């Protein structure tokens, strides 16, 4: 019973977090609609992606390998980007298997690393890099910055999203290159025609 309560509570918390703006302010329904109208994702795609993310979270919460704590997921148009660090290859494979079990998943991009967890200093540096990226992209792109998801692991920046403006993506990548501590940029942004 307690486990089910925890899962429901976590899913509700995730729904609130998923709708948050980059500055950490809870977005209202109107703000979400505005983001959909401004971005390159339809409302249906946003709802489908949120449903996929919630179902993945439920599977990760029910796993015995701390997948919920060790792996981050980004979902864009049914494409799931997995990042994080796990202890061994078997856990990495198990995470991918669980994601493929979720309805609506079209592609799984597995960037889960196997090895030692990051130190507190590395983790703080990654959080700082991601915060700088979000701040600079919001300043540069305005509301369109919400169309992109960023994740940093050991100085390696992963970008996911959908855009119909490749020149905007190029300027975003050039902007990220200027941030101290960025070692590599991995681009998983889909450019729509």
Are the beta carbons of 191 and 164 closer than 8 angstroms?
yes
Q: What is the pLDDT of residue 25?
A: 33
Give the CA distances from residue 79 to residues 42, 47, 142, 159, 161, in Å, rounded to whole numbers and listed in that order: 15, 14, 24, 13, 9
Residue 109 has pLDDT above 90, yes or no: yes
Average pLDDT over residues 4-27: 46
Q: How confident is the model at residue 32 (pLDDT cuts 50, 70, 90)?
A: very low
| Rounded distance between C-alpha atoms, residue 56 and residue 97, angstroms | 11
Q: Residue ranges per domain, the chain?
A: 1-193
Q: What is the pLDDT of residue 40?
A: 65
| Rounded distance between C-alpha atoms, residue 14 and residue 54, angstroms | 7
In the chain, % of residues over pLDDT 90 = 53
Q: What is the pLDDT of residue 30?
A: 36
| Neighbour count for residue 90 (Cβ, 10 Å) | 11
- Global confidence as pTM: 0.69
Q: Got the DSSP string for 98-120?
A: HHHTSTT--EEEEEEEESPPPPH
Average pLDDT over residues 131-141: 94
Looking from the CA of 131 toward its CB, the CA atoms found within 13 Å total 8
Maximum Cα–Cα distance for the chain, whole Å?
Answer: 51
Average pLDDT over residues 135-151: 90
CA nearest neighbour of 127 among 149, 154, 147 = 154
Residue 117 has pLDDT above 90, yes or no: no
| Rounded distance between C-alpha atoms, residue 178 and residue 34, angstroms | 30
Average pLDDT over residues 68-89: 91
Looking from the CA of 91 toward its CB, the CA atoms found within 13 Å total 20
Give the CA distances from residue 126 to residues 20, 60, 131, 156, 191, in Å, rounded to whole numbers and listed in that order: 20, 23, 9, 8, 26
């Amino acid at each position: 019973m307690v486990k089910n309560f925890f899962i429901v509570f976590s899913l509700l918390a995730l729904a609130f977090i998923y709708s948050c703006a980059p500055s950490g302010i809870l977005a209202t329904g109107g703000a979400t609609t505005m983001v959909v109208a401004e971005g390159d994702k339809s409302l249906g795609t946003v709802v489908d992606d949120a449903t996929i993310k919630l179902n993945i979270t439920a599977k990760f919460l029910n796993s015995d390998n701390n997948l919920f704590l060790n792996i981050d997921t980004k979902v864009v148009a049914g494409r799931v980007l997995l990042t994080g660090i796990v202890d061994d290859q078997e856990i990495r494979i198990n995470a991918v298997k669980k994601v493929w079990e979720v309805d609506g998943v079209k592609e799984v991009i597995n960037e889960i690393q196997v090895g030692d967890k990051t130190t507190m200093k590395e983790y703080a540096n990654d959080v700082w890099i991601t915060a700088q990226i979000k701040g600079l992209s919001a300043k540069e792109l305005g509301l369109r910055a919400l169309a992109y998801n960023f994740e940093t692991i050991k100085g390696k920046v992963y970008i996911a999203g959908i855009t119909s403006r490749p020149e905007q993506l190029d300027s975003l990548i050039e902007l990220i290159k200027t941030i101290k501590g960025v070692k590599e940029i991995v681009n998983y942004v889909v450019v729509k025609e």
